[in-house]
Structure 1
Amino acid sequence: MTIAQVPIELLPHLRRARDVADRNYAEPLDLAGLAAAAGVSKYHFLRCFAAEYGETPMQYVTRRRIERAADLLRATNLTVTEVCGLVGYASLGSFSRRFAELVGVSPSRYQRTQAGPRIPGCFVFMLGLNSAIPEKHAGPPPPYRRTDRDDEEEP
């Protein structure tokens, strides 16, 4: 099936299923559940999703999990085992193997090579995964700007 063969009226349904995968990447996801979110049979969903996005739904979920893991390893001081669980993997071995396949290095090596300030893990757990770590494309926070009020004393 080529991209031209995906019915245009199915595209919003495919996007809805992809949004579900993006929001719930850390939870157990399966083909049947994503197909249900799209409102079509799982085999039709699988064919159309792959034709439209160039990868199967589960490849997409895996890629999102690994992207998020890379964000966490780069921005926090969480251990590889903690990150593994936070992004939805039950097996550290499976996580490490998949991470190395997609990123090119092991998660621990990737974490060691990333420089910069790290968010403490307790902060991540306290506020929740999605609110504590911005997506990698969100950009840095705006710079602090000093104001005249900084010099005022508290009453």
Structure 2
Amino acid sequence: MNVVLGLGLFIVGAIVGFFANRTLFSSAQETQKLATKASQSEAELARYKLDVADHLANSANLLEQMNSTCQVAMAQMAQSTQLLQQVTPDHIESMPFFSKETQEQLAETVNLRHDKNLRKNDETTSEPPLDYSGAPSGLFNDKKYSATNAEKNN
């Protein structure tokens, strides 16, 4: 009987040990999973920080380039403004918009047009134009026509 009792206690102890180990091991497993997730999150956070730092560095470089480009543009604008302010009316007259020949042709054209206008004012017309009609006729006649069947039959 001692052997059966020992064997029974051994089996009961093994079952209790199995469930105790499983319970303790599952909490240890969860702890290990949580630790793994925490380390992954820390690694992702570190990567994100590096990405943000890289982005800020690139943005700073781009802003420096924009600033230098703006400085160059401002210097060019100042130089152009200074050159434009130095131009005097004497210089402007020496650089006409049209050539001398073109200006002469334009002056002749203007003179010819003015002569035609004077000639038109001198002529007086007493006759109506050729397409003028003295008495109303056709569609523009003041007679009213009705388009009913009753009046057509009469």
TM-score by length of 2: 0.24
**Rg larger for:** 2
TM-score normalized with structure 1 length: 0.24
